[in-house]
Amino acid sequence: MIEAKGLTKRYGDSHAVQDLTFTVRPGVVTGFLGPNGAGKSTTMRMILGLDAPTRGSVSVNGKPYAAHRTPLREVGALLEARAVHPGRSAYHHLLALAQSNGIPRSRVREVIDAVGLDGVANRRAGRFSLGMQQRLGIATALLGDPRTLILDEPLNGLDTEGIRWVRGLLRDLAAEGRTVFVSSHLMTEMALTADHVVVIGRGRLIADTSLDRLVADSGHGSLEEAFLELTAGAAEFRTATTRGDDR
Ligand SMILES: Nc1ncnc2c1ncn2[C@@H]1O[C@H](COP(=O)(O)OP(=O)(O)OP(=O)(O)O)[C@@H](O)[C@H]1O
């Protein structure tokens, strides 16, 4: 469970995140949606204690992230797939994290197999393609068998098989009773994966509802249309076509 209360982050004169209050519940996949620059990554960084809120608070599984004694066993996160020592193999990257978090060595092989990296586990992570780095990032998130998963754009760079695999993985993790909070710009994928959505724009909460209700209430048949309508006034970057300049 993730609980944000009045969460706010200001950089200089501008708000990246403003007065966000929402709860991410276990047992369902919650999609975290918003246009470019809406504040999704900043919110996730605050949940993980990587950025301090200017105001407000956020807890994961009942406590601030930093208050957990073995955080990797509570919360698995993928924020920046490239945040891996480039000279280290995938196996040694995971092993170092396992050893510093009291996770058995056998779990390293399990997650390597689970993400399909068994054939390249001894290669330097710095030479991995984006999709391979993303798979390693997901393996890192799964390493501690955590109750809560926070994944920022986990589908970036994945091939068709990888995208389908992540869809099944997220649904399975939620079905096991875990909390799954995932951001993505791929609305067709989110429509297939998420049960619930939290939508933000310009740092503010726009919607916190079931995916089915969001689509039904919009009167449109798709999440993509519902999302574009909902965020029309909150998107900083829209192309001429979407703005209707050429009509
Ligand atoms: N360290 C920082 N210093 C100054 N401004 C920042 C910083 N980090 C983020 N911002 C600003 O905060 C806003 C929200 O950025 P954030 O990366 O959280 O958005 P996002 O929803 O994840 O965007 P995207 O979908 O494009 O990845 C943006 O205007 C961004 O420029």
How many domains, the chain? 2
* Whether residue 200 sits in one domain with residue 176: yes
What's the pLDDT score for residue 247?
Answer: 47
Shared domain for 175 and 229, answered yes or no, is yes
Q: Do residues 155 and 52 both lie within one domain?
A: yes
From atom 29 of ligand 1, which residue's Cα is the shortest distance away? 37
Ligand 1 center from residue 176 Cα (angstroms): 32
- Give the pLDDT means over successive 10-residue stretches in the chain (247 positions): 98 95 98 96 96 97 93 92 81 94 95 94 91 94 97 93 94 98 95 97 96 92 93 76 59
Q: Same domain for 100 and 222? A: no
- The three-class DSSP label of residue 72 is helix
What pLDDT score does 59 carry? 97
Domain end among 98, 130, 146: 146
Cβ neighbours, 10 Å, residue 58: 22
Is 78 part of a structural domain of the chain? no
Take atom 23 of ligand 1 and give the residue whose Cα is closest. Answer: 37
Which residues, including other chains, have CB under 8 Å from residue 184's CB and lie 6 or more apart? 31, 32, 33, 153, 154, 155, 190
Are 95 and 142 in a shared domain?
Answer: yes
Q: Which of 10, 11, 13, 50 to mutate to test the pocket of ligand 1 (most atoms within 8 A of CB)?
A: 11
Both 46 and 160 in one domain: the answer is: yes
Q: Based on the fold, state whether residues 93 and 8 are members of the same structural domain.
A: no
Q: Which of 240, 246, 202 is nearest to 42 (CA)?
A: 202
Task: Give a yes or no: residue 77 inside a domain.
Answer: no
On whether both 142 and 152 belong to a single domain, the answer is: no
133 CA from centroid of ligand 1 (Å): 22
**Which range marks the domain in which residue 126 is found?**
83-146
Q: Domain boundary at 146, 162, 183, which?
A: 146
Residue 155 DSSP one-character state: T
The DSSP 8-state label assigned to residue 107 in this structure reads H
Question: Which amino acids bring their CB within 6 angstroms of ligand 1?
Answer: 11, 16, 34, 36-42
Same domain, 168 and 216: yes
* 230's tokens: 């909902």
Per-residue tokens: 244: 């209707």
CA 13 to chain CA centroid, Å, is: 27
Of 92, 124, 146, which residue constitutes the final position of a domain?
146
Mutational pocket test of ligand 1: of 18, 32, 42, the residue with most ligand atoms within 8 Å of the beta carbon:
42
Domain contains 199:
yes
Residue nearest to atom 30 of ligand 1 (CA): 37
In a domain, 87, yes or no: yes
Whether residues 154 and 132 share a domain: the answer is no
One-letter identity of residue 216:
A
Q: Which atom of ligand 1 is nearest to the CA of 45?
A: 18
User: Residue 116 region, left (φ>0) first, then alpha (ψ -120 to 50), else beta?
Assistant: left
Token output for 158: 């994945």
Instruction: Check residue 85 and give its pLDDT.
Output: 83
Pair (235, 158) in one structural domain:
yes
Q: Which of 41, 54, 78, 198 to mutate to test the pocket of ligand 1 (most atoms within 8 A of CB)?
A: 41
In ligand 1, which atom is closest to the CA atom of 9? Answer: 12
User: CATH number, domain at 198?
Assistant: 3.40.50.300
| Domain identity same for 152 and 48 | yes
